[in-house]
């Protein structure tokens, strides 16, 4: 539902991007009947029965897979643990490199795959784990088997992890209209403009491309921000790679807030999207023997909450 709406807030494709995307869809025979260039970011949601060549591309005569068809758009993997493990592992390298190199006897070809990955999963096989109104009927092993389908390195590539609780009746009944895609799109476009304006020499720059030394060169981090970072590294055992990923998210949060500097609140929010608990810790937490690390459910968390 929500993921399907993500392309509606993404800025339209530039002409160069549009030609790249159309080329891939054209070769795959996946162009819409109307023909012409694809001008809106593509959205791909393959079924979880997909094979590794279907997802990353392949075949005797190499053709683009779903990751390449999602180039400059969104790849949505629903029911993530239902995908075969080897299929999920196959997207790790494309995620990192933004292209797939297929080598066959007849030659090698490269397909670009610069996509935004969105995935969804249930908390456990029965789907009620953590639901205040229903009882989860899965035992420990079932839950472990379910979540272990997704490897740590793949989870590490996912920058933001959020939980989606059931909507309350009060929210369903609410009269006030929700924010439209058009309004969000304007904010997103403005945030992207800010990101591009920092690097005039790099067209179509996005914060996801920020290198660790860019932070030192371009953003003087304030002492409060450094304190939040230190707390995250020490108390949450965040690796330096995870911290840099959180800093990139924080830069985007600051861009959305039209702020020149990354503040402690921005970084705290970014860190709140990291998966922090190991399966073992979470299990203890679930059984009530480990206190929750954070108590504030607010998404605009204060630095104190971290």
Site for other proteins in 219-278 (CB under 8 A): 248-249, 252-253, 255-256, 272-273, 275-277
- Measured from the CB atom, is 223 or 259 closer to other proteins? 259
- Measured from the CB atom, is 50 or 204 closer to other proteins? 204
Closest by CA position to 14, among listed 36, 41, 44, 52? 41
Question: How many residues line the site for other proteins (CB under 8 A)?
Answer: 119
Query: What is the helix (H) or strand (E) element at residue 112, kind and residue range?
Result: strand 107-112
172 Cβ contact partners less than 8 Å away, ≥ 6 residues apart: none
Q: Which of residues 146-185 bind other proteins (CB under 8 A)?
A: 146-147, 150, 155, 157-168, 171-172, 174, 177-181, 184
- Measured from the CB atom, is 41 or 223 closer to other proteins? 41
CB 23 within 8 A of CB 67: no
Q: CB of residue 123 vs other proteins: minimum separation in angstroms?
A: 4
- Measured from the CB atom, is 105 or 213 closer to other proteins? 105
Strands 43-44 and 107-112: unpaired
CB 73 within 8 A of CB 21: yes
Site string for other proteins, 67-106 (x = CB under 8 A): -x-----------x--------------xx-x-------x
Q: CB of residue 301 vs other proteins: minimum separation in angstroms?
A: 10
Q: CB of residue 304 vs other proteins: minimum separation in angstroms?
A: 15
Q: Which of 65, 207, 215, 263 touches other proteins (CB under 8 A)? A: 207
Radius of gyration of the chain (CA): 21
Stretch that binds other proteins, among 46-54, 82-90, 206-214, 219-227 (CB under 8 A): 206-214
Output the CA torsion 34→35→36→38 (10° steps). 90
82 Cβ contact partners less than 8 Å away, ≥ 6 residues apart: 48, 149
- Measured from the CB atom, is 61 or 223 closer to other proteins? 61
Q: Which of 69, 119, 225, 247 touches other proteins (CB under 8 A)? A: 119
Q: CB of residue 186 vs other proteins: minimum separation in angstroms?
A: 11
Query: Cα–Cα distance between 81 and 83 in angstroms, integer?
Result: 5
Query: Cα–Cα distance between 262 and 82 in angstroms, integer?
Result: 38
Q: Which of residues 42-71 bind other proteins (CB under 8 A)?
A: 61-62, 64, 68
256 Cβ contact partners less than 8 Å away, ≥ 6 residues apart: 187, 188, 191
Q: Which of 46, 58, 66, 111 touches other proteins (CB under 8 A)? A: 111
């Amino acid at each position: 539902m929500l993921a399907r709406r993500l392309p509606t807030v993404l800025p339209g494709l530039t002409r160069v991007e549009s030609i790249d995307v159309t080329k891939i869809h054209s070769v795959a025979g996946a162009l819409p009947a109307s023909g012409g260039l694809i001008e809106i970011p593509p959205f791909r949601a393959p079924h979880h029965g997909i094979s590794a060549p279907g997802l990353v591309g392949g075949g005797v005569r190499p053709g683009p897979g779903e990751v390449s068809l999602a180039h400059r758009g969104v790849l949505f993997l629903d029911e993530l643990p239902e995908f075969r493990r080897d299929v999920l592992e196959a997207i790790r390298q494309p995620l990192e490199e933004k292209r797939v190199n297929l080598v066959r006897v007849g030659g090698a070809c490269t397909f670009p795959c610069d996509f935004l990955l969105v995935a969804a999963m249930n908390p456990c096989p029965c789907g009620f784990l953590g639901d205040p109104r229903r009882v989860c009927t899965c035992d420990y092993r079932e839950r472990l088997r379910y979540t272990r389908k997704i490897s740590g390195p793949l989870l590490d590539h996912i920058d933001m992890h959020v939980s989606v609780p059931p909507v309350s009746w009060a929210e369903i009944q609410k009269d006030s209209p929700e924010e439209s895609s058009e309004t969000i799109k304007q904010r997103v476009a403005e945030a992207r403009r800010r990101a591009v304006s920092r690097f005039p020499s790099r067209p179509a720059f996005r914060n996801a491309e920020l290198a660790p030394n860019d932070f030192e060169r371009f953003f003087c981090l304030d002492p409060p921000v450094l304190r939040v970072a230190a707390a995250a590294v020490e108390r949450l055992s965040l690796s330096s790679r995870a911290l840099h990923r959180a800093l990139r998210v924080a830069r985007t949060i600051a861009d959305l807030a039209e702020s020149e500097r990354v503040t402690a609140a921005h970084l705290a929010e970014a860190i709140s999207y990291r998966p922090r608990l190991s399966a073992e810790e979470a299990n203890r937490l679930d059984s009530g023997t480990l206190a929750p690390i954070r108590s504030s459910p607010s998404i605009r968390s204060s630095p104190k909450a971290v």
